[in-house]
Amino acid sequence: MARPWPAGLALSALLGQSRAQLEAWAVDQGLPAFRGRQLHDWLYAKGARRWHDITVLPAALRDQEPAPLGRSAELHRSVARDGTTKLLLATDDGLSLETVGIPTRDRLTVCVSSQVGCPMACRFCATGKEGLQRSLQAHEIVDQVLTVREVMDRRPSHVVFMGMGEPLLNSENVLAAIDCLSRDLGMAMRQITVSTVGVPNTLPRLAELALERLGRCQFTLAVSLHAPDQDLREELIPTARAYPYEQLLEDCRHYLELSGRRVSFEYILLGGLNDSPRQAEALAEKVRGFQSHVNLIPYNPIEEEAFQRPAPGQVEAFAATLKRRGVAVSVRASRGLDQDAACGQLRRQRQDRVQG
């Protein structure tokens, strides 16, 4: 049975709709219900981009194109030596967004955007330099995963909402996309991660909405801390002024209670700024006794800021300090560094070329 999504989530494209919704749409068009099942198969299993691709449908219906399918056009592609593939995709209203395919031998992770631009203005993020243009609809998020699958000719195993935008400012569409990825593309919800820098009064609500809309809350929540104290966090993330550190952690605990899922903490390491052993000790004190995991991310430089990438020894020492204090920790391997890996850079470069 189709899930009852709020009225504010207009179904403006067929992509993102369930099998039952597509069957109902077909019947509304005066077609047999099985045409909806065919559409579902061609949208999700075969990745149809145009009505004329769906050869099982009558030619008259394909010529009519009765509704947008919801697929994007590729504007630019950048492939790094390690295979990391960054795509710039066009939206129907003339905007652009980034998505990235990150391959390893055993998995393909798709880093998806949830908004065009971002209002959070994090100093180390290229996307935040431009502000927010709009939130993405569910089909525009799902399309990113299908496009990476098509370009890289490989089935994605993981999806991370770590691209452009703040997912918790678009939680309804993010959850609708997660529902579609799980239900229609067959992805395990535990292989999906939602990353946030923290928006007041949204974390517990996210768990409640997931339980209400999806019937479960099995995706991973990743909360970006990036500093061991409130003062430095506000310097790096201006919106943190409205969200005290202790309140953020308390909301994380509430989320854990509601969802039963541990929280992952993201910490971007900036050379000489937040990567000292003393700061590692302070971070360990903050998350001590928390059912959590800390993911350390060495900084990818952007032109607008003078932040430095940390030395490998500093990264190792920071991780070792956390481990010694009993904190579960991992270091994210840097990918695509030869192709401007930081989020938002590809989009900004294209805009600069157009304006120039």
pLDDT higher at 302 or 63: 63
Q: What is the pTM of this model?
A: 0.91
pLDDT bin (cut points 50, 70, 90) of residue 355 is: very low
| Nearest one of 91, 110, 192 to 151, comparing CA atoms | 110
Per residue in 262-298, is it b (16+ CB within 10 Å) or e — as a string? ebbbbbbbbbebbbeeebbebbbebbeebebbbbbbb
* C-alpha span between 104 and 82 (Å, rounded): 9
**Domains parsed from the chain with CATH numbers:** 19-64 (1.10.150.530), 73-355 (3.20.20.70)
Percentage of the chain beyond pLDDT 70 is 91
Question: What pLDDT sits at residue 351?
Answer: 54
**Which candidate in 180, 217, 252, 343 is catalytic?**
343
Per residue in 86-125, is it b (16+ CB within 10 Å) or e — as a string? bbbbebeeeebbbbbbbbeeeebbbbbbbbbbbebbbbbb
Strands (E), the chain: 73-79, 85-90, 96-103, 108-111, 115-117, 132-135, 158-161, 192-196, 220-224, 263-269, 292-298, 329-331
Per residue in 165-203, is it b (16+ CB within 10 Å) or e — as a string? bbbbbbbbbbbbbbbbbbebbebebebbbbbbbbbeebb
Lowest mean pLDDT among 62-71, 181-190, 333-342: 333-342
pLDDT bin (cut points 50, 70, 90) of residue 352 is: very low
Q: What value does the mean pLDDT of the chain take?
A: 91
Average pLDDT of 111-134? Answer: 93
Question: Residues near 301 by Cβ (< 8 Å), separated by ≥ 6?
Answer: 307, 308, 309, 342
- Can you tell me which residue has the tokens 């204090």? 325
Report the length, in residues, of the chain: 356
98 assigned to active site: yes
* C-alpha span between 311 and 317 (Å, rounded): 10
Question: Which token pair is 287?
Answer: 């998350």
Average pLDDT of 265-288? Answer: 96
Question: What pLDDT sits at residue 353?
Answer: 52
Q: Which phi and psi (to 5°) does residue 98 adopt?
A: -110, 145
3-class DSSP assignment, residue 224: strand
Instruction: Decide if 86 contacts 104 (C-beta within 8 A).
Output: no
Average pLDDT of 136-159? Answer: 98
Question: What pLDDT sits at residue 288?
Answer: 85
**Which candidate in 23, 98, 140, 166 is catalytic?**
98
Question: What pLDDT sits at residue 344?
Answer: 56
Question: Residues near 72 by Cβ (< 8 Å), separated by ≥ 6?
Answer: 89, 90, 91, 140, 143, 144, 147
3-class DSSP assignment, residue 206: helix
Lowest mean pLDDT among 246-250, 256-260, 331-335: 331-335
Average pLDDT of 41-69? Answer: 96
- Can you tell me which residue has the tokens 């198969």? 41
Lowest mean pLDDT among 8-22, 123-137, 270-284: 8-22
* C-alpha span between 139 and 70 (Å, rounded): 6
* C-alpha span between 1 and 176 (Å, rounded): 15
Average pLDDT of 67-85? Answer: 96
* C-alpha span between 102 and 336 (Å, rounded): 9
Task: For residue range 298-345, list pLDDT tens digits in order.
Answer: 998 887 788 999 999 999 999 999 999 999 999 998 766 555 555 655
